[in-house]
A and B are shown apart, each in its own frame.
Chain A
Amino acid sequence: MMAGSGLHFVVLILAVAICGAASVFQPISDSHRSAAVDVFVPVDGSYKSLEEAYEALKTLEILGIDKKSDLSSRTCENVVKVLGSSSSTLKDAFYALSVNGILKCKTGEAVLLKDIVSQLQAGVKGAKSLLDFYYSVRGLVLVKEQFSGTDLSIGDAEAIFRSIKTLSQTDGRWRYSSNNPESSTFAADLAFETLAGVISLAPSEIDQSLIQTLKTGILKLFDSIQKYDDGTFYFDEKSVDASQSPISTTASVIKGLTSFAASESTGLNLPGDKIVGLAKFLLGVGIPGDAKDFFNQIDALACLEDNRFSVPLILSLPSTVISLSKKEPLKVKVSTVLGSTAPALSVKLTQAISSRSKDSSVINNQELKFDADSATYFLDSFPKNFDVGKYTFIFEIVLDDSANEKAYITEAQTKVPIAATGVISIENAEIAVLDSDLGSVESQKKLDLTKDGAVSLSANHLQKLRLSFQLTSPLGHVFKPHQAFFKLKHESQVEHIFLVKTSAKKSELVLDFLGLVEKLYYLSGKYEIQLTIGDASMENSLLSNIGHIELDLPERPEKAPRPPVQSTESHSSYGPKAEISHIFRIPEKLPAKQLSLVFLGLIVLPFIGFLIGLTQLGANIKSFPSSAGSAIPALLFHGGIAAVLLLYVLFWWKLDLFTTLKGVSLLGVFLLFVGHRTLSQLAAASNKLKSA
């Protein structure tokens, strides 16, 4: 899908790059054929699946490329194996028959055939989804084409037709099966091909009115067609996660339409410009990178090439550049999408509109001559007022109405962008140094811009430099080039570029050094002069070194900007950079370890003094309750306090505040109860003593 979406993006870029709805489409050419060999001939000599084999072989057959014999024999083995086994699926049988149609393998006895036919007929009867119908009905059609004389009966053709038709929707798209509400344009192709197959297998049994309703349904499908600005039309699936790219959707619609039209004797009235637009869309893809897209493109173009009702003709130009100096004719080719010759027709150039004056046309209704040897149409004489520049040529194809077997369709008008180039003559080129106040010329030199000169001038900052020349097109009009650059390059490699402006009469550049002193970084010395003139329509674009000029500029003042340092070794910027030395915060000076340990000992001293003092005072725990009922709460109380203190130590060591708070709240509630119990018992005891 990535390749598909990538291709879609490429097609979009192609469409965007073409401005003004003018573009050139080329039919399938040899570059396609050589790419096909790369894409479709497998390296290891065999295809991964019959579906791949069918796509590859069909594409190679359409493009007229010979298949290798060992490849064919190996694929044939596979085909015979699938057709011989009775357990192969409908899909495998269908693709095996398709490959057989291309390779014409020797399948052996007719016993195989009866099995296949019965399997396909059972498939038709028991088909529940569109794909089942497709494989079985198309399989029967293929058997009928390849093995003449077999008796195929499809059963009740009209009932089958109707049951397939129930899957259609009013917006022209079809569903895959009656339980699945998902519908797609791709399913429409499957439906049309299946119905065409049903009609071809039982032509007399289908009611004409059914076929008519189907035709209106097909035309409804065209309502969902989309178009690009350059006149190409395409189909795209509406659903977001469709696995079909616009190429495969468009190709499938074309295949379905043409197969249905082929089986129908009266034909469909398909809109001609849309068919050509679809053909142009497929050609505009170029060479697809994906094998599936390549197959879809070539298969659909082959359907368009060879159908009875609407064969599109493509107008293409080998070269869209007219050189007025070489006086070669403009060649135009008309062919079918696969590059085959077109029938007798005439090509007319109705208009040639210049990009400069869009309302009037330089050439009107010129008929192109036909060269039968190369099968091209050409225009060799251009009017006198055909000057260099960009044009849009509008071609029309007129078909000769002598009896054609097929009905050809063309675009109403084909717009092609053409560029006309010629030799531009350069006259009166001169360079002069002027005194700025009086405008008088101090030194003036004539230039020959076609070769490098060795003009040597000198100027100071009070003077001006003037360069002027005239460019004329082959017809004598003043030519304004796209690029006219004047470059001054100092000895120290500092460069400055100025634009030469073109007015109605000539091109001129005046450099006033007084104002440019700061831009030139006050660098005095020798400057080389280089002039570049270029344009797409100019066949003799030039870059010439005119010479050099000595400039005398004043001294640089203190605050003026310095010229940028020209790094001569630009490659050194890719080497390793300097090592960064990080500056860390200097850690604080900590006291000596022994000092800290001494103080640790000193801290403990008051605690020892406290304990000694307690014993001296005669502190005791005589009033610790002795009875079990009071001792337990007392013990728990002391234990709880110890637990809280232990929790604090843990908190300092590793826990965080929230865990500690949770623990403290739990222990606190516990302590509350226990402590209240103990202390109230103590209070009761002391009250008893007091009252007693």
Chain B
Amino acid sequence: MVKSTSKDAQDLFRSLRSAYSATPTNLKIIDLYVVFAVFTALIQVAYMAMVGSFPFNSFLSGVLSCIGTAVLAVCLRIQVNKENKEFKDLAPERAFADFVLCNLVLHLVIINFLG
């Protein structure tokens, strides 16, 4: 039984990998960016867990900047993905412009809150 479950897991993992490799490169870049942002956030949380939350506003702004930019990247990925029927008429350049603008606004607020 154990052997089948582990084999099933391995098969599942292998199929996911092969399916993922079919995605276009630009989407993979966006995914990578999201992973990077989330990792940065996790490291900050771990640091805060160790040393305490004294400048709490700084901690919040750091974490929220990472999470925010990750969310914006996810939105970009949704809008750019050609398989999404809802955003067929939206040009990817337009989505990218929105992404840039929203990021700039987010970072302005973050820097203000950083203190």
Contact = CB atoms under 8 A, between A and B. Distances in A.
Chain A bound to chain B? yes
Interface of A: 588-591, 595-596, 599, 602-603, 605-607, 609-610, 613-614, 617-619, 641, 644-645, 648-649, 651-652, 657, 660, 664, 668, 675-676, 679-680, 682-683, 686
Given A602-B43, A607-B36, A648 B108 contact: yes
Contacts of A660: 108
A317 to B, nearest CB: 84
A588 B40 contact: no
B114 interface: yes
Q: Determine chain A's interface SS by DSSP, over half rule.
A: helix
Contacts of B29: 614, 617, 619
B13 interface: no
Given A617-B25, A617-B28, A603 B40 contact: yes
A614 B32 contact: yes
Interface in B8-23: none
A603 B36 contact: no
A680 B35 CA distance: 29
Contact of A610 (B36, B43, B96, B108): B36
A657 B115 CA distance: 11
B96 A679 contact: yes
Given A599-B47, A603-B40, A657-B112, A589 B54 contact: yes
27 contacts: A588-B54, A590-B51, A590-B54, A591-B51, A595-B50, A595-B51, A596-B51, A603-B40, A606-B39, A607-B36, A607-B40, A610-B32, A610-B36, A617-B28, A618-B25, A645-B107, A651-B111, A651-B112, A652-B111, A657-B112, A668-B104, A679-B97, A682-B93, A683-B91, A683-B93, A683-B94, A686-B93
A609 B36 contact: yes
B109 to A, nearest CB: 10
B72 interface: no
Given A589-B52, A617-B28, A645-B107, A675 B97 contact: yes
B97 to A, nearest CB: 6
A676 B36 CA distance: 28
Given A603-B44, A645-B107, A648-B111, A591 B93 contact: no
A121 B104 CA distance: 92
Contacts, number: 76
A644 B104 contact: yes
A609 B94 contact: no
B89 to A, nearest CB: 13
B43 A606 contact: yes
Given A589-B52, A599-B47, A609-B39, A679 B108 contact: no
A651 to B, nearest CB: 5
Contacts of B91: 683
B93 A619 contact: no
Interface string B28-61: 1100110110011001100100111010000000
Given A614-B32, A617-B28, A679-B94, 20 more contacts: A591-B51, A595-B50, A595-B51, A596-B51, A599-B43, A603-B43, A610-B33, A613-B32, A617-B29, A618-B25, A641-B100, A648-B107, A649-B111, A651-B112, A664-B104, A675-B100, A679-B93, A679-B97, A683-B93, A686-B92
A411 B33 CA distance: 110
Contacts of A676: 97
Contacts of B93: 679-680, 682-683, 686
A649 B47 CA distance: 22
A645 B105 CA distance: 11
A22 B101 CA distance: 92
Contacts of A675: 97, 100
Interface pairs A-B: 9 shortest CB-CB: A591-B51, A679-B93, A610-B36, A606-B39, A588-B54, A613-B32, A683-B93, A648-B111, A599-B47
B91 to A, nearest CB: 5
Contacts of A645: 107
A35 B32 CA distance: 103
Given A599-B47, A645-B107, A606 B36 contact: yes
A133 B100 CA distance: 90
Nearest to B66: A606
Nearest to A685: B93
B101 to A, nearest CB: 8
Nearest to B39: A606
B108 to A, nearest CB: 6
A686 B96 CA distance: 14
A646 to B, nearest CB: 12
B112 to A, nearest CB: 6
Nearest to B103: A641
Nearest to B29: A619
Nearest to A607: B36
A607 B39 CA distance: 9
A619 B111 contact: no
Contacts of B43: 599, 602-603, 605-606
A508 to B, nearest CB: 78
A644 B97 CA distance: 15
